[in-house]
Structure formats: C-alpha cells, structure tokens
Amino acid sequence: NFHITLMKTYYKLEDYRNALKSADSILALDDKQAKAYYYKGLCEEKTKYDIKGVLISLRKAVELEPNEILYRIALAKAYKDYGFYRSALKEWQRIAANRQYAQRALMEIQRINSLIEQSRF
C-alpha cells in the first residue's frame, strides 16, 4: 500500500509530523490498519509527548494484531517509560511466551520488578 510505505518512509527519515499525518490519513480510510496505529503511537511519542495518545494508539495496534510482537514490545516500552510498571510487566510476560523474545522479555521483567521495588520506598 502506497500510504503505508509513505508513512514508514517519513518515519525512517525522522519526519514524524508527516508520518503522523500519513497514519491519520490511512486510519481515516480504514480504521483497522494496525500498522498505522503502531506508527501513529511511535510518532506521537516523538512529537507530542501525549502519553494518553501514545498508549491508545499502541493498544489499538495490539488489539488489532495481537500476535505482532513488535507492537507488544512498543506498548510494553511505553508503559515502562511512562511509569506504568505493572502494565509493562504484564506485556513483557506475554512477550516472554514467544520463544524468540523470551530472553529479552525476562531481562525486562527483572528490570521492571526492580523498579516496582524501588517505587515502594
């Protein structure tokens, strides 16, 4: 799809505003495009620092394509970055079920458990 390729190209060129506009255009035509939600979330994080928007977009990408591990990783990272440690932990636990990403997920789970422990003090 031309629009998806354009959106990805803008993103790779770090032209996040145009990538975001492209994602919005794609979603206006078809609101079931998980990849557009994924890139929208990534771009919102880079340009708007809109926590709610980032999480909504990434959650929607995961909802539409629950087996796409990169979407789950982006969501887990966003949860962690914004301090939603328990939500991040749940996502990394889901990711750990994928053999290819299990080791990375287990390392992230340990880090997040440490952050949860530190936040108790």
Average pLDDT of the chain, as a whole number: 95
Residue found under tokens 């990272």: 77
The pLDDT value given to residue 121: 67
Structure tokens at 105: 């997920």
Would the pLDDT of 110 be above 90?
A: yes
Q: Which amino acid is present at 24?
A: D
Residue in this structure with the two tokens 């749940």, named with its chain if needed:
90
Q: Which residue ranges make up each domain of the chain? A: 1-66, 76-121
Give CATH for domain 1-66: 1.25.40.10
- Show the tokens assigned to 54: 């980032």
Q: Are 69 and 98 in contact (CB under 8 A)?
A: yes
Side-chain-side CA neighbours of 108 within 13 Å: the count stands at: 25
Residue 91: exposure state from Cβ atoms within 10 A (0-12, 13-18, ≥19) = buried
pLDDT in tens, 36-83: 999 999 999 998 778 999 999 999 999 999 999 999 999 999 999 999
Name the pTM for this structure: 0.93
Q: So what's the pLDDT on residue 105?
A: 98
Mean pLDDT of 92-98: 97
